[in-house]
Structure 1
Amino acid sequence: MNSTMLANVLNALKSATLSRLKHITLQTGTKQYLGPILDPSLEGKLVHQVPPFKEDLDRLPYPNFYCTLEDLVASDFPSITHPVHCWSIIIGASSRSVDNILLTLSVYATICQYQGLPFRYPGNKYTWEHFCDMSDARVLAEQQIWAAVTDGAKNQAFNCTNGDVFTGKSLWKVLCEVFDVGFVAYEENDEKFDWLGMMKGKGKLWDEIVEKYELL
Structure 2
Amino acid sequence: MGPIYDPSLRGELVHQDQPFKEDLGRLPYPNFYYALEDLVASYLPSITHSVHRSSIIIGASSRSLNNTLLTLSVYAIICRYQGLPFRYPGNKYTWEHFCDMSDARVLAEQQIWAAVTEGAKNQAFNCTNGDVFTWKSLWGVLCEVFDVEFVAFEENDEKFDWLGMMKGKGKVWDEIVEKYGLFETKMEDITCFEHLMWF
Normalised by the length of structure 2, the TM-score is 0.84
Q: How does 1:105-116 map to 2 (within 5 A)?
A: 105-116=72-83
204, 207, 212: which is aligned to 2:171? 204
Which residue pairs with 1:94 in the alignment? 61
Q: Would you say the 8 A contact 1:48–1:60 is kept in 2?
A: no
Does structure 1 residue 150 correspond to structure 2 residue 150? no
Q: How does 1:1-216 map to 2 (within 5 A)?
A: 31=1, 35-37=2-4, 43-44=9-10, 45-216=12-183
Give the root-mean-square deviation of aligned CA atoms.
Answer: 1.8
Q: Distance in 2 between matches of 1:39 and 1:119?
A: 24
Give the secondary-structure state (helix, strand or coil) at the position aligned to 2:126: strand
Q: Distance in 2 between matches of 1:145 and 1:175?
A: 31
Q: Distance in 2 between matches of 1:60 and 1:147?
A: 25
Normalised by the length of structure 1, the TM-score is 0.78
Greater radius of gyration (CA): 1
Q: Mark the runs of 5 or more structure 2 residues left unpaired by the alignment.
A: 184-199
Q: Mark the runs of 5 or more structure 1 residues left unpaired by the alignment.
A: 1-30
Q: Percent identity?
A: 84
Work out the number of aligned pairs and report it. 182
Distance 1:206 1:69, change over 3 A: closer
After TM superposition, the structure 1 stretch with the greater mean CA deviation from structure 2, 126-135 or 189-198, is: 189-198
Q: Distance in 1 between matches of 2:169 and 2:31?
A: 36
1:204 deviates by: 1.7
Q: Deviations over 1:129-185 (max 9, x none)?
A: 100001111110000000111111111111000110010111101100110111111
Q: Distance in 1 between matches of 2:5 and 2:93?
A: 17
Q: Distance in 2 between matches of 1:190 and 1:127?
A: 13
Give the secondary-structure state (helix, strand or coil) at the position aligned to 1:90: strand
Greater RCO (Cα-Cα under 8 Å, separation 6 or more): 2
Distance 1:47 1:117, change over 3 A: same
